[in-house]
Structure formats: C-alpha cells, structure tokens
Amino acid sequence: MAPLGRANIEGSMGTISLPNESMKTELDRITPPAGEANTLPTVLQVLPSLETGGVERGTVDIAAAISAAGWRSLVASSGGSMVHELERTGATHIELPLHSKNPFVIRRNVSRLRSLIERENVDILHARSRAPAHSALAAARQANIRFVTTFHATYNFSMPLKRRYNSVMARGERVIAISNALRDHIIKNYTVNQDRIRVIHRGIDLERFDPTKVSAERVIQLSRQWRLPDGVPVILLPGRLTGWKGQSVLIEALARLGHQQVRCLLVGSDQGRTGYRRSLEELSRRHDVESVVHIVGECRDMPAAYMLADAVVSASTDPEGFGRIMVEAQAMGRPVLASDHGASGEIVQNGVTGWLFPPGDVRMLSERIAHVIRLDEDYRHRIAEEAIRNARENFGKERMCADTIGVYRELLDEDVATAGAFAKFAAA
C-alpha cells in the first residue's frame, strides 16, 4: 500500500495549472527523477480509450479536479482524441491496451497496471468501464490499494455470464452510481453492500453551456451550415446513431404530425453503423418526412445547436444511466421531451422544465412535439428559466468533481484511521 502519510495532504479546489511541456505517455518514462519522492495522493483512472463520449468527458473533468486539489492525476487508456485535453489539466496519460476484451490481454494488463501502481506509488485506482475494471481489480488487490468504480449504465445482462462480467463494476470499495435510478438497479441486480454506493450525478460545464455566452454569429453560422429555413420550429435529437437512442421513434412521431412545418435534426456520428443510418433514411422516405428529418453528423458547437432548437428530444428505448443531453439542453434554456425511464425523472421536471412520455410511445411523443411548438413566448420563457435553474443548481461539473474527491478522501481517511489504530495497538 502507498504510504499512509499521503492521506494527510489536503488540497483545495482552485485554478488548474497547465504543464509547461508535453506529458510523457510511455509507461517507462513517467517515473519521477531519482531522488524526487512522490508525496502527494495519487489517483489512477482507467478506461478503454479517450475518444469523445460521456465516460471520457467525466474522466477528463475528474482528472482536472484531482490536479486542482493538489494531488497527482494519472489516466491509463488506449489513447484517443481527448488525450491532449487531458494532459492540459496537469494529468499524465499512460497508453495501455485497456480497450481490449480479449481475456489474455486483460490478464496481461493486470501486471502492467501493477507495475504502474508500484512505479507511481498509486493510492487509489478508479475503474470506469468493465474490461479495464477486471484488470484493475486484480492489480489493486495485488498492490493492496483502494479500488473505486463508477457504474455508468445498466449494461445488458441477458445471460448469466454477461451478468458476471458486469458485476466487476459493483465490486469497488466505493461504487459511484451516476443516478438514483442506477443505484436502485445495482442493488436489485448485484450483490453489493448498499453502504458502499455513492450517488454522484454527472455534471456539465456550465460555463460552456450558458446561453448568454453564445454569440448570434455562432448560431447564424450553424443555421446556414444546416440550411435551416427562417421561422420553422426545430426539433433536436443529439446522440450517436444507434438503435436504442430512439431516432426511429422520433421519425415515426414526426410522421404523425402530418405536414406541419417543422425541421428535425439528428445530431451525432453513426460510428461506422452505416446500415443503421441508411435504415433511418429509408424510414423517413417511407413516412414521407425526408424533407423534415436531416441527419447532420457530429457537431463541434453543441451550445449553438441547442440555441437553434425549439425542443430537445431524448427518445431512448433503453433506460439512460444519466442523460447528459437533457442537462445540457436545460442549461441552455430548452424544453426537453424525454422517455420516462432510467434517470429522466431525476433530470426533467415534468411540465416544468419539459415533458416525459412512455418509452417508445410514438403517439404521446407526437402530441408532446405538437404542444411544445405551439407554446407562447411567456410560457416558453418560464420553462427556460426553470430549466436553467435546475441545471445550475443540481448538475454542474464542479459539484460532481467535489463529490468524487470526497469519495477519494473517505478512503484515504480510512487508511489514516487504520494506521492510527495499528500504532496504538503496537504501542500497548
């Protein structure tokens, strides 16, 4: 175990200092120079990769908070487009093949992580995904350090073997659930001491998602890029193109509206699912709404995209572990129409910041869309105010980061208490 004295180091959330030079990513090149002792608490986060996504975003945010607290922040993954952003927080990235689900690679990753733990004197190992969690759990046990997991989704467990594979995410000394709904799911489906679970909602960057900071020029530029006609209501569904995100539900709901003037934007990458994209295009043609539905791909300026929307839809057919787009939309003052399962009820206040509808209910979603595009300006303004207030009070990334650092401190304080008790016993 790392020296218990590290747990006495207290940091404060402050300005993140940027590194002066590029971080070294190779495993054998991150050891401090000879004679330079590691005296700060060190947290190692592990995940498959650092490509764009909710898990990846949360990892970078927590890495920044660890650095801001005055601790050492390490992240191990197979790499990706967000590595540079991560390193700007003051964290160090270590490239390891943690994306692999190959049992032999997972086994080899145990020794790789164990070596990293010993080299860097890691205090806490935080696993954020299943494949790397299997390696991380074994390495943490071998090194006798604290192990934390974040449960991000319900995960499919149609077969007993799949449930066993998923169960590693419930084996942390602290299990962070990103919603109350997910906490209930963990308790119902896995053997876990409830006292070990901590609910920490995901948080967003409220500085970025602030309607007062989005210029008219940005909105106009995006509107021209997507060729949006003036005065036509815009329905936005952000999210990668995959079946359970419910793009087909929205298309069928739009078909029920008849030929009302509306434009629907499906924002997100197909991530190689070209067959699914083609099926959505065919569905639009079959329902005669191909002039209404536009698949626009990735968007680098989501705050501006939300500003274009009259309503934002989350039509997921499977329960969302959290639902980041619902929070982002509310932070931008946009009403949300969301499937009523998973964490939606914790985020959307029905009739106040948006409306809920039964999952997959095409008729109800169609009625909700018809209602929201007819809202008068006073009602829309009240919804915007309540939506912004809800997002700012409950779902800022600062709160998420502070609560996560609090979990780490719980474990470090336990180490200190254990060491004190042992010292008293030894002296008796």
Q: Give 23's DSSP letter.
A: P
For residue 418, what pLDDT is reported? 58
For residue 420, what pLDDT is reported? 55
Helix axes 103-120, 130-143, angle to 10 degrees: 50
Give pLDDT tens digits along the chain (428 positions). Answer: 443 332 222 232 232 222 333 333 333 433 334 444 446 899 999 999 998 778 999 999 999 999 999 999 999 999 999 999 999 999 999 999 999 999 999 999 999 999 999 999 999 999 999 999 999 999 999 999 999 999 998 887 777 788 888 999 999 999 999 999 999 999 999 989 999 999 999 999 999 999 999 999 999 999 999 999 999 999 999 998 989 999 999 999 999 998 678 999 999 988 888 899 999 999 999 999 999 999 999 999 999 999 999 999 999 999 989 999 999 999 999 999 999 999 999 999 999 999 999 999 999 999 999 999 999 999 999 999 999 999 999 999 999 999 999 999 999 998 776 555 444 444 44
* 328: three-class secondary structure by DSSP: helix
Helix axes 247-256, 274-286, angle to 10 degrees: 10
Q: Based on DSSP, count helices (H) and strands (E) in the chain, helices before strands.
A: 15, 13
- CB contact set of 408 (below 8 Å; sequence gap of 6+): 41, 43, 66, 124, 148
d(CA 67, CA 65): 5
Q: Where in the chain is the domain with CATH 3.40.50.2000?
A: 4-203+397-427, 211-394
Is the torsion defined by CA of 4, 10, 13, 18 positive or negative?
A: negative
CATH of segment(s) 4-203+397-427: 3.40.50.2000
DSSP state letters, 331-381: HTT--EEEESSTTHHHH--BTTTEEEE-TT-HHHHHHHHHHHTT--HHHHH
For residue 114, what pLDDT is reported? 98
* 272 Rama sector, left if φ>0, alpha if ψ -120 to 50, beta otherwise: left
DSSP state letters, 252-301: HHHHHT-S-S-EEEEES--TT-HHHHHHHHHHHHHTT-TTTEEEEE--S-
The pTM (predicted TM-score) of the whole model is: 0.83
| Token representation of residue 423 | 């010292």
Nearest to 412 by CA among 148, 116, 135, 91: 148
Q: Give 5's DSSP letter.
A: G
For residue 39, what pLDDT is reported? 63
Question: Is the CB of residue 47 less than 8 Å from the CB of residue 98?
Answer: yes
Nearest to 309 by CA among 241, 361, 232: 232
d(CA 384, CA 22): 42
Side chain identity, residue 86: L
- Side-chain-side CA neighbours of 32 within 13 Å: the count stands at 10
43: enclosing H helix or E strand: strand 42-46
Query: Fold for domain 211-394?
Result: Rossmann fold (3.40.50)
Q: Give 323's DSSP letter.
A: -
* 238: three-class secondary structure by DSSP: strand
Distances (CA, A) of 46 to 118, 131, 200, 210: 16, 10, 18, 31
